[in-house]
Structure 1
Amino acid sequence: MSHGRLAGKPSPQRDEGITVSADKPAQAGSVEPEGPGREALDVLYRFVAALELAPTVAVHSTDRNGIVRYWNHTCAEVFGISAAEAVGRPLTSLSSHLEREEDFRNTLETVWKTGRTAPPRDWHIRRQDGSERWLYSTHFPVLRDGVTQQLFCMEVDISKRKVDEAELIEAGTNFRQLFERSTDAIVLIKGNGIIDANPAAVALFHCADKHYIVGKTLLDFSPEVQATGETSVVADAALASRAFIDGNNRYEWEFSLPDGAHIWAEVLLTSVTLDHAFLSYAVLRDISPRKAAEHALAMAARVFENSRDAILITDRHYRVIAVNQAFTTLTGRAAGDVMGGEVPGLLSGMHDASFYQQIWDFVAVHDHWEGEVCCVRRDDDDIPVWVAVTAIRDSAEQVSNYMAIMTDITERKRAEEQTRYLAEHDFLTDLPNRVLFLDRLQQALVSARRQHTKVGVMFLDLDRFKGINDSFGHHVGDAVLKEVAIRLTGCVRGVDTVSRQGGDEFVVILADIGGVDQAAHVATSVMHAVAQPVRSDSHTISLSVSIGIAICPDDGLDVDTLLKNADVAMYHAKQNGRNAFSFFNADMNAHVIERVQIENELRHALSNQEFVLEYLPEINIASGQATAVEALLRWRHPQRGLLMPHQFIPVAEECGLMVPIGEWVLQQACARARAWRDEGCPVMVAVNLSGAQFIDGGLVHSVEEALRLSGLAPELLNLEITESVIMRGDDTTMATIATLRARGVQLTIDDFGTGYSSLSFLRRYPLTRLKIDRSFVMEIPQPDSGANPPANLIPAIIAVARSLKLRVIAEGVETAEQLQFLKRHGCDDYQGYYASMASSDPDLKPRPR
């Protein structure tokens, strides 16, 4: 029969049985590490091999109906019936127990009812060929959940021994000669103990001579009697009496020998007349190897039946000779459906017969194959199964059987898939993470090269997201990220990929796009979707996003280049005002490289003392006197020269350096103002605050520390706050401003008119001054260009300030005409180039902001 039996017989319909999984085909001869532990498989193999290849013990099992379900090789020799002929037939039809047939049936029934092993005993049987045998049999149940499932029997052919025993009894007058020369251990028992022992008995009991035995009883060597110290004289006398009545009796005893060894012996107790005296003699044979084999076989039977893994055993011709209950549970096939037949078909249509032939060829060479396959149940459910096929060889190294062990790995596969999913997806948004994103981008690029299409990579960063976390808490920030993830997914196609890279950064793969127009359309949709207010924890949060776009092949051919260029484009969008998208180009890359260089150099500027402050005077319009100065930060770069704030402040804010720089500015400005005061010029100093200083949470401490170190009076320090910070309106910002004002510090709203402040909103803050943005002042000299030019808004702004009892200062005054306009409408102070020219202090020279 060919090895192709594993594949079964082709059928136009779907075969039931085992198939190779389509999503992960097994390799012929593969041994994958995720299979069941190899040690566990070896244990099962040893147990099953013990059942099948036991050289001296015939092992067979029957079900509740007396039908043979298992028949090993030794059974075939003892009963003269092969496994193929025996399996599936009633046990009682294979042999007869002569005049004790009813006794035999009662013995089996008792084991089924009680669930207890029957005492070993001799049975005289007649085989189907007419020959007779004596068998020494042990029947024991195999239980599962306390219920007997099968009845196993282990039998040893003792026909020759029976002949020897008969000859010994018939020897009569020659007993003494046989006693001395017998290879079996024999002891004579009279009355209360052993009176003689032959040389074989001395050897069996590991003694120097028979004096170590004579005078004792057999039960003196029992481990139980030795442990309790009980006497056994009466017991031996009773056994001897029974021998005279019954003729002979057989027992199995465990003996504890003088040297500490333990053996099992079969004891045949028989009556005899010797020298006109009635005695009994005991023939002892060492059955320790047999007992060990029986124990191993009993254990094998229990393991076979109770194993959680499905086990199927065939003969060398691939006919099934045994399956356990787990096989039925796994496949849905009852034992009766497969016993005696060929291996159930394994062909599913996903692989041809040659694939399975490779498995058998591999087993023929290596004796083992294992891999993952797909088991098809009767109800057509597919489940993943790990299968190990092993060839079992006899003592002549010939294959006698095949064993297949099958383990349901559904839960393990589900756990692996879950683990893989978690490893490839963001825990918060459930989007693909960077690992899965890079894999998909690589696949998209390979496909684009093959199809000559384009791939777009969009790098997205939420604008000012850190402020959301700091103002409302991280739980609100997490809710925002989840909502943004949902909106982004809704803006792309199924073939595209949205990934969260970490923090508030997202990346989108636009696969197989026609060109930049399609990418721009998606970017516009994303911006519109993100801009919709997010409601979380009773807060309504407005968002915007900056997007950078790189296109393959125009902006790069590999993953790293495309991601880098998309990131560059995103930074360009941020620097151009945020809430925008930008495509990558070479100039943009150079600009970003320069920005990175500035960031690196900026990190050392503070420690290298490269920052300086210049002061712009604020002039009272009515008196013409300087009442305050504004501290303006400059960076005296070693190579680039003097840099203005707009050249480095945005970078400092983005890279988190604005807080330490702001602390330095506060301390330097307060120290300079105190020096002027000591020189008799008590002038107020104004310091611009960054939004980052409010977010940091240490602003109040920084101000108090600067005042303490300098000794400057709080009323001489004026902190200028941008309108965007005021409009944020969170509780932390309001508390910080209130605390600073309570310390006596002056507070100015800077660049007023560039945001969306409302009168009712400004009333909530304890401000002292309002500064009109220079964009309004620049329009004053020009004639009206419309119904409501910017200059016409200045009187309205001043009116708002008056209603809030705020002092008004205008910045960016360059001409006398502008000054006169402000004076006419009631502005209090001004600053700018014209103010610097009017100042009498030579240190306060005209300087741009």
Structure 2
Amino acid sequence: MVLTDAAGLIVMANEAFCRIAGCECSEVAGWPVEHFFASLRTPSPIGAEPGANADELTSWQQEVLCRRDDGESMPVLMTVDALLDEQQRPHHYLRTFVSLATPSGKQLGDRHWVHVDPMTGLPNWLLLRDRLNHALAQAERADNGLAVLFIDIDRFKAINDAVGHVEGDRLLGELAQRLQKALRSRDTLARLGGDQFIVLLEKDGTAEAAQVVTERLQEALEPPFLSGSRYLLLTASIGIALYPSDAQDEEALITAARSAMYTARKKGPGRLAFVDHRLTAKLKEKHRLESRLSEAIHLPERHFRLLFQPEIDVDTGCCTGLEAVLRWQHPKEWKLPPEAFVDTISRLGLGIRLDRWVIQSVIGHHLGWLESASSLAQLPVSIRLCESHLVHDTFDRRPLDHFLRQQQLDSLAWMVLQIPSQGLSSNLDGTSHMLKRLERLGVRLTIDGLGTHSFDLAWLSRLPFDRAKINAGLTRAPHQNERNLMEALCRLLQALHIEPVVIGIDDQAIATTVSRLSCKHAQGDYYCPAISAEELEQWLSERTSARR
């Protein structure tokens, strides 16, 4: 066994690991654990949340080759468990290595210990996967059903913290014994990791049989557990998935059972739930969307289209600027902007990558306009940013101001970066430093979504914004006092020397209302929808000719 810190540096290792690795215990502290092994197979996630990214896994297994100091390698099964802090972030990792070879170096033919969870003696994820695949094949041939039960012990983390990890491990062992005794000999109980277990019910996999077994499991946990002088009550939330009605393959069955467990947990401790097909369909659609978005953002030139929407001077009708607008060229979703998927993009951690592609694409258009002496080159271009850009610790260690410097442009005075107001409220002090660094580059800054999200207006006087975008939806408020908020907001911004721009003007009625405001800049489909750079050239030429 090896304990590492969050960065993977060894804190301590036991003698058994040092024998496998062929080194002294006193020598390993401070070394990266990856120094001692090479991966043989892709990690198998244990008890992962639905849709969890690889970086978010808290428990996994994989076969590796341990590197010995004599140059030889030996096959080893490595199980990794993350030790989480109060914010559910890993602060250490516990790695358990099980040798798959004899002391002489011969690989074991009997893989029994590879498939056993050392804490409880139950089958682990590897054996469960084998048995589930075998059971699915038999069920398909015999046209039978089977059931998968996903068990999560309620509030076990709090109990584990209260009694200590050693005692918590003992309780898990006793709990596993109770669950095992409540099952039939032909059923499989496996431990996924942590306080999560799976039960595989073969042959008699009807909903009625699964419910009877589930209730028997919960009854087995009813007697209190004795820990020292304390009596502890443990309950379990259990989700049930059926083959073939809920899912037809190994991963889908476990995912469906896990989602049912979440449904059970919402009902309260010690409850059971079958698969909610609406929830399952929603989960599948969410996974499909994430997969497609991830592929699109990694190949943006193939999947996205960059358009531009003009900004208009309400008094003169002249075009005073442009906003870069992105469209996803997906068969179903292409009409929706990426802002419609901002939560998904943020969860995938891909917002910065997509924004940078937009910035570089806009720069390419601007340089082209300069080269062709187009009047478009004289217009400022606004680019919306995700709030992740406001932090210094980006995925490639290049903060936004460093990235812009690397574009090697003579001037950035034509570029306007739109900062989401919701991203400012979480860390105003840290964000203000980044905004001031951008201002020193010559970039103009706009606050986006003002009036839509809560924000401390007093901060506006301290931040280097010279423009603010306000959604025209405020003019649709049913009460006059609420509609007056738009005019009050415009005047407040002007008093702070911030130019307001009303966006989302899509019809004549809103345009008429906005024309009565003190705001002189507007944007929306009523004036001109988002169009391609080629169409923009023609639109601007025709508009200029018409005004002459």
**Larger Cα-atom Rg:** 1
TM-score (norm. length: structure 1): 0.33
